[in-house]
């Protein structure tokens, strides 16, 4: 077998690591000069909608011998709507670094490789690679590459504005904002990476052209709002924007000996846009199939299910006005609701998704 992996991100590297553990090596092609995307950000890794996984870091370590060291575990998550604030406490997940940061998850994965070679500074195309290799894993993080080969159903295209910011933060506490004035049908969030530094982001679907055009205005309004909520001046260190970020799923996880992994598969659960757990899982599953340990399509079925459940919740939350978002936030003060939301692996969200399904259009 001659195996190529296109993309040294979470899916590609998890795939390579799993192949190695079963005696195979892959050639990994990465277009950047080093592993990790071009800017530093914090991301949240949560098992939300990935039942039965309660703790993804422990799960990957114990079940798949893939070891990730997150930056912090999250104990408290604040939800802010236009006029209400509430929080829930519990083991909500982990904050980890991505991109250029020395502890970025992709760097941690790359360091665990023993035999596979990462060819950096190598932008390759599927057509070139497919001629030379018996197996190809497409893990470029970009569903447009999947669309060149097969149908990819798009749930939404997202627009991000974000920055590394400086201030005074509590490390285990995450803040989220749901307010259609500055993140229409989307959200804002703050993920601390230390007591003095955090990632601050708004992300929302690009349903209206003017929402993209108004991004700077939304961003400025959000930064002022975040400063007010946190009762401090927030200083911007390094800004970034992303447009046309596709969330969706491919029709076929595998075509012949080509495997679609990570975002190229549909690793992101559309509800709040978490893609790390699904991307790593799809990389592992692709490798298991190549090693003859399972069937990729079958292994991916729970991921498709997670995606579908999550899309129902996404469409439900998108339909809420600011007033309704206030009511949802207020309901989090209720101790019963709090308890239910912080259940292990938040399986309640799956239940909620099934209840809502008949009433919500996922188109
Ligand atoms: C701003 C932002 C915030 C996010 N926050 C969260 C979060 O908090 N929690 C969460 O769970 N998920 C989050 N996500 C989603 C998560 O980052 C992705 O789902 C995950 O990284 C996808 O992994 P991947 O392996 O598919 O792609 P990536 O990790 O992006 O890796 C793809 C790699 O392929 C390389 N590549 C691309 N094309 C080529 C080519 N032709 N040849 C060679 N190499 C190529 C790229 O350079 C890159 O290194 C966020 C995404 C963004 C953009």
pLDDT in tens, 315-341: 999 999 999 999 989 988 876 666 666
C-beta of 140 in contact with ligand 1 (< 6 A): yes
C-beta of 296 in contact with ligand 1 (< 6 A): no
Predicted local distance difference test score (pLDDT) of residue 88: 87
Which percentage of the chain shows pLDDT scores above 70?
A: 90
**pLDDT at residue 39 is higher than 90:** no
Mean pLDDT of 252-268: 97
Residue written as tokens 């749930």? 155
* Residues sharing a CB contact under 8 Å with residue 339, sequence separation 6 or more, in sequence order: none
With cut-offs at 50, 70 and 90, classify the pLDDT of residue 362.
low
With cut-offs at 50, 70 and 90, classify the pLDDT of residue 123.
very high
Mean pLDDT of 257-262: 98
Pair of tokens at residue 50: 């990935």
CB 71 within 8 A of CB 97: yes
Mean pLDDT of 202-211: 96
For ligand 1, atom 6: residue with the closest CA: 43
**pLDDT at residue 361 is higher than 90:** no
Class of domain 3-356: alpha beta
With cut-offs at 50, 70 and 90, classify the pLDDT of residue 216.
very high
Ligand 1 center to residue 141 CA distance, Å? 5
Ligand 1 center to residue 263 CA distance, Å? 7
Higher pLDDT, 309 or 337: 309
**pLDDT at residue 106 is higher than 80:** yes
Q: Cβ–Cβ contacts within 10 Å for residue 334, how many?
A: 11
Mean pLDDT of 335-362: 61
Mean pLDDT of 69-89: 93
**pLDDT at residue 282 is higher than 70:** yes
For ligand 1, atom 27: residue with the closest CA: 141
Q: Cβ–Cβ contacts within 10 Å for residue 247, how many?
A: 24
For ligand 1, atom 31: residue with the closest CA: 9
C-beta of 6 in contact with ligand 1 (< 6 A): yes
**pLDDT at residue 71 is higher than 80:** yes
C-beta of 97 in contact with ligand 1 (< 6 A): no
**pLDDT at residue 349 is higher than 80:** no
Ligand 1 center to residue 11 CA distance, Å? 8
């Amino acid at each position: 077998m001659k195996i190529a992996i296109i993309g040294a991100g979470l899916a590609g590297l998890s795939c390579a690591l799993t192949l190695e553990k079963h005696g195979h090596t892959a050639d990994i092609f990465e277009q950047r000069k080093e592993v990790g995307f071009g800017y530093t950000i914090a991301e949240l890794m949560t098992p939300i909608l990935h039942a039965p996984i309660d703790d993804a870091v422990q799960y990957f370590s114990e079940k798949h011998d893939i070891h990730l060291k997150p930056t912090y575990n999250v104990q408290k998550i604040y939800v802010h709507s236009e006029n209400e604030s509430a929080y829930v406490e519990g083991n909500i997940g982990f904050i980890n670094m991505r991109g250029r940061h020395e502890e970025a998850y992709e760097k941690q994965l790359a360091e665990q490789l023993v035999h596979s070679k990462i060819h950096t500074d190598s932008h390759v195309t599927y057509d070139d690679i497919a001629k030379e290799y018996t197996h190809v894993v497409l893990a470029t993080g970009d569903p447009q590459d999947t669309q060149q080969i097969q149908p990819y159903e798009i749930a939404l295209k997202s627009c991000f504005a974000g920055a590394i910011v400086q201030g005074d933060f509590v490390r285990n506490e995450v803040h989220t904002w749901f307010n259609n004035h500055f993140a229409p049908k989307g959200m804002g969030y703050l993920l601390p990476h230390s007591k003095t530094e955090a990632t601050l982001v708004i992300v929302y679907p690009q349903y209206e052209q003017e929402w993209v055009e108004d991004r700077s205005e939304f961003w400025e309004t959000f930064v002022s709002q975040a400063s007010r909520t946190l009762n401090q001046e927030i200083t911007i260190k390094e800004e970034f924007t992303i447009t046309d970020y596709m969330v969706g799923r491919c029709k076929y996880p595998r075509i012949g000996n080509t495997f679609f992994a990570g975002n190229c598969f549909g690793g992101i659960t559309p509800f709040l846009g978490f893609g790390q757990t699904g991307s790593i899982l799809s990389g592992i599953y692709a490798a298991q199939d190549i090693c003859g340990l399972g069937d990729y399509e079958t292994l991916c079925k729970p991921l498709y299910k997670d995606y579908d459940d999550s899309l129902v919740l996404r469409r439900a939350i998108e339909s809420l006005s600011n007033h309704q978002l206030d009511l949802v936030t207020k309901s989090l003060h209720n101790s019963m609701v709090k308890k239910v939301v912080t259940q292990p692996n938040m399986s309640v969200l799956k239940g909620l998704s099934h209840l809502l399904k008949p009433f919500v259009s996922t188109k």
